[in-house]
Amino acid sequence: PCLCFDCVSCSYTPGAWTEKVDGLKLRDYSVPKTISLLLVGPKGSGKSSLVNRISRVFEDEDFTPVRAQVTYNSAAGDGTYFVQEYMIPRGSKSFCLYDTRSLSDDVPENVEMLKRWMTKGVRHGELAIMKSDSALLKSRMKCKARQDGYYSSEMRMVNFVIFVVNGLSVLKSMESNDEADKMYTEMIATMFNCPFLSFKDDKPVIVVTHGDLLSVSERSRLRVHLGERLGVPPHTQIFDIPESRDPATKLTIVDMLRFSLEHADRHLPGKGWFMGKVRSFVPYLL
């Protein structure tokens, strides 16, 4: 299927890239109405800004209102605490992005949060609370939630993961002798390799933001560094998406989405009757 700026909403349908192995057909798979892509990343990585950039690619930029709330000053703002669903493009049902709470420095709590999303699903408006959150923060967030009505939306299983990192922070981590700065890349590597984020052998796609504040050579160097550190090819699985509206950035966004949707389709589960048939056949192979 074609995945270009103008025809993504009419050309892509869930399951379009399903592997037709051993004579299987699309009807043999459990295909959701909407493919769900989960955005995860550390604080300040630019997940919400990325949602807005992706949305602008497929809509009229001059008249498109900002969809995701962006934190201008992370020290003063709360950031994203409620899971937010964004259909891409707006009004479509083919695929959606889920903006989520940022990963913290507490690895076990991050893993617990990711495990919940990846095994139980995500829901628009769901409040993401951690055990280490202060009583004051929990009270403020629950007050923002207003009522239990925010749980009324549909629960969706995650089909693939987009891991977002701040290019400035990665570069600082690479060049600094400060152990605290170096921990940024270490935390990224630890969470990126969390088994709950992978689909069999396929690891998440990586998006590097804030590249507009770096030189071309710095952007190239940090992609290679991330590729070596995370064990993924820097030129095909790490996408440099700066705060820019030029054609090259738009094309990179489309390429990143194509990669994500193609891998999401490859890992759609088989329907119950088919999986039962496979399980009954396995003993004969042993």
CB 47 within 8 A of CB 31: no
In a domain, 12, yes or no: no
Check which CATH number belongs to the domain holding 74 and give it.
3.40.50.300
In a domain, 94, yes or no: yes
If one counts the domains in the chain, the total is 1
In a domain, 76, yes or no: yes
pLDDT at position 70, please? 87
Residues 151, 255: Cα–Cα separation, whole Å: 33
* Closest by Cα among 241, 228, 156 to 192: 228
pLDDT at position 201, please? 96
CB 32 within 8 A of CB 154: no
pLDDT tens digits, one per residue of 29-47: 999 999 999 999 999 999 9
In a domain, 259, yes or no: yes
Alpha helices in the chain (DSSP H): 8-11, 47-57, 107-120, 135-145, 167-175, 179-192, 216-230, 247-266, 272-281
Alpha helices in 146-215 (DSSP H): 167-175, 179-192
Region 134-140: mean pLDDT is: 88
pLDDT tens digits, one per residue of 209-241: 999 999 999 999 999 999 999 999 999 999 999
pLDDT tens digits, one per residue of 143-155: 887 655 555 578 9
In a domain, 284, yes or no: no
pLDDT at position 181, please? 84
In a domain, 25, yes or no: no
| Percent of the chain at pLDDT exceeding 70 | 85
Is pLDDT of 107 > 60?
yes
The whole domain housing 155 covers 32-276
In a domain, 23, yes or no: no
In a domain, 22, yes or no: no
pTM of the predicted structure, to 2 decimals? 0.89
Is pLDDT of 274 > 50?
no
Which tokens sit at 177? 């002798």
